[in-house]
A and B are shown apart, each in its own frame.
Chain A
Amino acid sequence: MANISFENVTKRFADGTVAVDSLTLEINDGEFIVLVGPSGSGKSTALRMAAGLEDITHGIIRVGGSVVNDLTPKERDMAMVFQNYALYPNMSVYGNMEFGLKLRKMPKQERKARVTAAAKMLGIGELLERRPAALSGGQRQRVAMGRAIVREPQAFLMDEPLSNLDAKLRVQMRTEIARVHQQLQTTTMFVTHDQTEAMTMGDRVAVMRQGALEQVDTPEELYKRPVNLFVGGFIGSPAMNMVLARLVAEGDKLFAQFGSQRIAVPREHLSQRKQLASYKDKEVILGIRPEDLEDAEFAPRADPDALLDVEVALAEPMGAELVTYFEIDAPPVITKDTRDLSTDLDELDANKGKSLFTARIDSQSSARDGKPLKVVFDVTRLYFFDPQTEAAIR
Chain B
Amino acid sequence: MTALTFLEQGFTRRNRRRSFATLFLLLFLIYFLLPLFWLIVSSTKSDPQLFSTFGLWFAHFNLVQNLREVFTYDGGIYLTWLGNTALYAISAGVGAALFATMAGYAFAKYRFRGRGVLFAVVLGSIMIPQTALVIPLYLLLSKVGIINTPFAVILPSLISPVGVFLMRVYAERAVPDALLDAARVDGAGEFRIFRSVSFRILVPGFATVLLLSFVATWNNYFLPLVVLSTPKYYPLTVGLAQWNSSSSAGGGANVLFSIVVAGSLVAVIPVAIAFLLLQRYWQGGLTAGGVK
Asked if B181 and A86 make an inter-chain contact with CB atoms under 8 angstroms apart, the answer reads yes
Residues of B within 8 A of A24 (CB): none
Q: Given A86-B176, A90-B201: A51 and B185 within 8 A (CB)?
A: yes
Asked if A89 and B181 make an inter-chain contact with CB atoms under 8 angstroms apart, the answer reads no
Q: Given A84-B176, A84-B178: A89 and B183 within 8 A (CB)?
A: no
Does any Cβ of B come within 8 Å of A132's Cβ? yes
Which of A84, A99, A134, A151 has a CB less than 8 Å from the CB of B292? Answer: A84
> Whole-angstrom distance from the CB of A10 to the nearest CB of chain B?
20
Residues of B within 8 A of A104 (CB): 187
> Whole-angstrom distance from the CB of B183 to the nearest CB of chain A?
7
Residues of A within 8 A of B291 (CB): 82, 84-87
Asked if B289 and A134 make an inter-chain contact with CB atoms under 8 angstroms apart, the answer reads yes
Q: Given A88-B197, A89-B286, A89-B287: A82 and B178 within 8 A (CB)?
A: yes
Does any Cβ of A come within 8 Å of B290's Cβ? yes
> Whole-angstrom distance from the CB of B194 to the nearest CB of chain A?
13
* Docked CA distance A85–B188 (Å): 17
Asked if B292 and A137 make an inter-chain contact with CB atoms under 8 angstroms apart, the answer reads yes
Which of B184, B286, B289, B292 has a CB less than 8 Å from the CB of A53? Answer: B184
Does any Cβ of B come within 8 Å of A133's Cβ? yes
Contact size class for A? 20 to 34
The secondary structure that dominates the B interface is helix
One of A71-79, A206-214, A233-241, A243-251 contacting the partner: A71-79
Which of A78, A90, A133 has a CB less than 8 Å from the CB of B185? Answer: A78
* Docked CA distance A232–B184 (Å): 38
CB closest chain-A residue, reference B189: A74
> Whole-angstrom distance from the CB of B114 to the nearest CB of chain A?
15
The interface bits of chain B over 269-284 (1 if a CB of A lies within 8 angstroms of the residue's CB, else 0) are 0000000000000000
Does any Cβ of B come within 8 Å of A103's Cβ? yes
* Docked CA distance A261–B82 (Å): 97
Within 8 A of B (CB), among A90-104: 90, 99-100, 103-104
* Docked CA distance A48–B182 (Å): 11
Does any Cβ of A come within 8 Å of B123's Cβ? no
Residues of A within 8 A of B286 (CB): 89-90
Asked if B188 and A87 make an inter-chain contact with CB atoms under 8 angstroms apart, the answer reads no
* Docked CA distance A178–B281 (Å): 43
Asked if B201 and A79 make an inter-chain contact with CB atoms under 8 angstroms apart, the answer reads no
Q: Given A90-B197, A137-B292: A100 and B186 within 8 A (CB)?
A: yes
Asked if B181 and A82 make an inter-chain contact with CB atoms under 8 angstroms apart, the answer reads yes
> Whole-angstrom distance from the CB of A94 to the nearest CB of chain B?
14
* Docked CA distance A134–B187 (Å): 26
Does any Cβ of A come within 8 Å of B17's Cβ? no
Which of A80, A103, A131, A137 has a CB less than 8 Å from the CB of B182? Answer: A80
Which of A74, A80, A88, A131 has a CB less than 8 Å from the CB of B181? Answer: A80
Which of A80, A83, A89, A133 gathers the greatest number of chain B CB atoms within 10 Å? A89
> Whole-angstrom distance from the CB of B112 to the nearest CB of chain A?
12
Within 8 A of B (CB), among A130-151: 131-135, 137, 140, 147, 151
Residues of B within 8 A of A82 (CB): 178, 181-182, 291
Q: Given A86-B178, A103-B192: A133 and B184 within 8 A (CB)?
A: no
Does any Cβ of B come within 8 Å of A342's Cβ? no
> Whole-angstrom distance from the CB of A386 to the nearest CB of chain B?
42
Asked if B200 and A90 make an inter-chain contact with CB atoms under 8 angstroms apart, the answer reads yes
Within 8 A of A (CB), among B162-195: 176, 178-179, 181-189, 192
8 A-B Cβ contacts within 8 A?
A: A74-B184, A80-B182, A83-B178, A86-B176, A99-B196, A103-B187, A133-B289, A137-B292
Q: Which A residues fall within an 8 A CB radius of B?
A: 48, 51-53, 72-74, 78-80, 82-90, 99-100, 103-104, 131-135, 137, 140, 147, 151, 157, 164
